[in-house]
Structure 1
Amino acid sequence: MIELHLIKNLISSLTERNNNLRGVFDYTNKKEKLEEINIELEQSNIWNNYKRARSLNKQKSSLETIINNLDQILLRLNDIKDLFNLVKSIEDKNTIKDIMIELEELEHDIDKLEFSKMFSGDNDQCDCYIDFQSGSGGVEAQDWTSMLIRMYLRWLDNKGFKTKIIEESLGDIIGTIKSATIHVSGRYAFGWLRTESGIHRLVRKSPFDSGHRRHTSFSSVFIYPELDDYINIDINLSDLRIDVYRSSGAGGQHVNRTESAVRITHIPSGTVTQCQNSRSQHKNKEQAIRQMKAKLYEIEEKKKNAEKSFLENNKSCISWGSQIRSYILDDSRIRDLRTGLEIRNVQDVLNGNLDPFIKNSLKLGL
């Protein structure tokens, strides 16, 4: 028979973990925030500002999910406590067994909620963009960039995220890529990916070298959240240089005949965004400006929080000393230089199994 003191200890442990979760998620303030949002959404003129209303509904959904999860855990925990207090004196074996099953299920749900607390940042629930940029290594680096894009797209697909290629600059050889921007949409897209910003280093015997010598190349990955339209980011138009050009990526004959692709440079910071997703130059310009606002916001947030600065300001030096992860293919190992995690199944990672690296960095609060 299950020892009663084991059940009592587990109930005590889960109660403490539940209390910690309510503090971490700032339960009381979130309930107050939800009430404020509901009051604003009840205003008769709220839909006159469609973007604001849409943003509020998105915030409401996120808050309701967190609050409901915490409410359900507390309710289930209290029910288990009440039932245990009723049966512990008579030692009803079947009921005690059922209580243990309920506790194990509750522990599993608390485990999941504890993992999700890593997504408590202001922008973690946002959709996001991923910028890829090849660095030192020429064609080898361009091929490495295409490999990284494939790896992340597979991971995103396995996680159920939706992706769209916003911009793609093809490399010097077919199948290689110099740079690309991908839009990612789905629950906690930025939260999942935010620790992946940095330089990724590849070491292998190059298929582009007739002597099959060992080459080292680099590619940068930069993740930034897609901001709600109501967040005000002031950009002086005189600080922007806007260039139009013919698309070099996929998209059929039209994109190669017309100058519909748009590149925007923020002159003071050197930040660049590009879009060639639409046939319309106007739509591409709107999208590139949205990306610029999001990118400048994220850079300022990183500066403000003094986080690791292998971000946009260091993009001009994609080389030795700034990498976060090394992929040593001929030694069959991938090592994260921040966490120390090393994995030997190289092909599994390149095929999209990034969970060990991403979860480890999130748990360590990078």
Structure 2
Amino acid sequence: MAAIDPADQLKELDSTLSGIAAVLDLDGMRRDIAELREQSADPDLWNDQDRAQQVTRRLSYLEGEFGKVEGLRRRLDDTGVLFELAAAEDDADTRQEAENELAALAKDVQQMEVRTLMAGEYDAREALVTINAQAGGIDAADWAQQLQRMYLRWAERHGYPTEVYETSYAEEAGIKSTTFAVKAPYAYGTLRGEHGTHRLVRISPFDNQGRRQTSFAGLDVVPVVEQSDHVEIDEGDLRIDVYRSSGPGGQGVNTTDSAVRITHLPSGIVVSCQNERSQLQNRASAMNVLQAKLLERKRQEEAAKMADLRGEGTSSWGTQIRNYVLHPYQIVKDLRTGQEAGNPTAVLDGDIDDFIEAEIRWMRQQEAESDS
């Protein structure tokens, strides 16, 4: 097979990058950045902490995205110059350097292109992630905690702020459930493909006979609600319980009954919050989580109705989506996209971008086929 001409690769990357810039609307992004900088400079902004944090997070995100596109453009130009220099001087080392940079640039442009595929109604929202231990006993509880760490590490790698609203610890090890927010624009669009059941196969550290154990944990991802969302909740449909926050091994976190659990009786949805010291604050946070889950349920019901009207079957992403095998061999494989990695340790430390990118492309393809 003949090698691809670097000039053709550079031309293709230039075209892709121009398409990315058009979809992202860099001029509009530049205007938004200027407006948000003006707002952030207003000393009265911080009188409303929530609003101030929204403005600063949005500004930081837009500056980052704008800088990425501009940086990719500069690198593209510099790589072209490097190839020209290598040819002019017939320098093998310079050519190798240019080829290495071209390969890295192609990967970074591809990752940036994924951002343009997130055009769903709620994709630009922040995300609420809930993880529940499923079948597998103590191993499942331990697995749920490993998944929590994996996503929090992923967010940390990208500089995305997170807030853990609630963690229910299991008696022996691990967690029964947890809910946390990823507070970055497009967090929902990025993570929504992670929704579903994650399966772990390993030698159980809790089995004194060293037997292989399969355990499961479920992941639920919903968009954070905004003021424009209308979610009708009748107070009469709620059961509200207060209790004392607890940590690993049942240890008390604080000495007052400040944790709040809200049960939405018609749907059976249960949400909890224990991260704040005040019962009132925990109740407000729990209501926000409940609204987000009800909004997502409403969206799913509407999508199912539209599919029925079109005579389509609805595809479910809420089934088993990924296997993490640590024994007898080591591999992580996505069952939908076929994406795999041979280093589960790196994956469990938050290195999941390749999986996320593959599933975003897969979901976009599924949606395009559904619309056609």
Counterpart AA for 1:323: Q
The share of aligned pairs that are identical, in percent, is 36
The one of 163, 173, 176 aligned to 1:175:
173
Alignment CA distance shift 1:145-1:13 (3 Å) = closer
- The answer for the alignment partner of 2:153 in structure 1 is 154
1:330 and 2:319 are equivalent in the alignment: no
- The answer for the alignment partner of 2:350 in structure 1 is 352
Counterpart AA for 1:138: G
Give the C-alpha shift of residue 65 in structure 1.
6.2
Native 8 Å contact 1:11 1:103 kept in 2: no
- The answer for the alignment partner of 1:116 in structure 2 is 112
Alignment CA distance shift 1:49-1:227 (3 Å) = farther
Native 8 Å contact 1:148 1:350 kept in 2: yes
Length, aligned pairs only: 342
- The answer for the alignment partner of 1:165 in structure 2 is 164
Native 8 Å contact 1:166 1:182 kept in 2: yes
Where 1:146 maps in the other structure, the secondary structure is: helix
- The answer for the alignment partner of 2:132 in structure 1 is 133
- The answer for the alignment partner of 1:319 in structure 2 is none
- TM (norm. structure 1) is 0.71
Matches within 5 A, 1:223-302: 223-228=221-226, 230-236=227-233, 237-249=235-247, 255-302=253-300
Cα separation, 1, equivalents of 2:315 and 2:66: 32
Give the C-alpha shift of residue 10 in structure 1.
5.7
1:309 and 2:316 are equivalent in the alignment: yes
- The answer for the alignment partner of 1:317 in structure 2 is none
Cα separation, 1, equivalents of 2:11 and 2:197: 45
Residues 279-304 of structure 1: per-residue CA shift (max 9 Å, x gap): 21111001111111222223333454
* 5+ long unaligned stretches in structure 1: 1-5, 312-321
Counterpart AA for 2:295: Y
- The answer for the alignment partner of 1:189 in structure 2 is 187
Bigger mean CA deviation after superposition, 211-220 or 281-290: 211-220
Counterpart AA for 1:155: W
Where 1:287 maps in the other structure, the secondary structure is: helix
Residues 137-188 of structure 1: per-residue CA shift (max 9 Å, x gap): 222211221222233333333333333322111112x332111112323454
Where 1:257 maps in the other structure, the secondary structure is: coil
Where 2:266 maps in the other structure, the secondary structure is: coil
Q: Rg bigger for which structure?
A: 1
Give the C-alpha shift of residue 73 in structure 1.
7.4
Give the C-alpha shift of residue 58 in structure 1.
5.9
Cα separation, 1, equivalents of 2:106 and 2:295: 33
Cα separation, 2, equivalents of 1:274 and 1:263: 4
Counterpart AA for 1:16: S
Counterpart AA for 1:347: T
Where 1:131 maps in the other structure, the secondary structure is: strand
Cα separation, 1, equivalents of 2:75 and 2:158: 29
Cα separation, 2, equivalents of 1:132 and 1:80: 44
- TM (norm. structure 2) is 0.70
* 5+ long unaligned stretches in structure 2: 305-313, 365-372
Give the C-alpha shift of residue 75 in structure 1.
9.7
Bigger mean CA deviation after superposition, 120-129 or 54-63: 54-63
- The answer for the alignment partner of 1:143 in structure 2 is 142
Cα separation, 2, equivalents of 1:299 and 1:143: 28
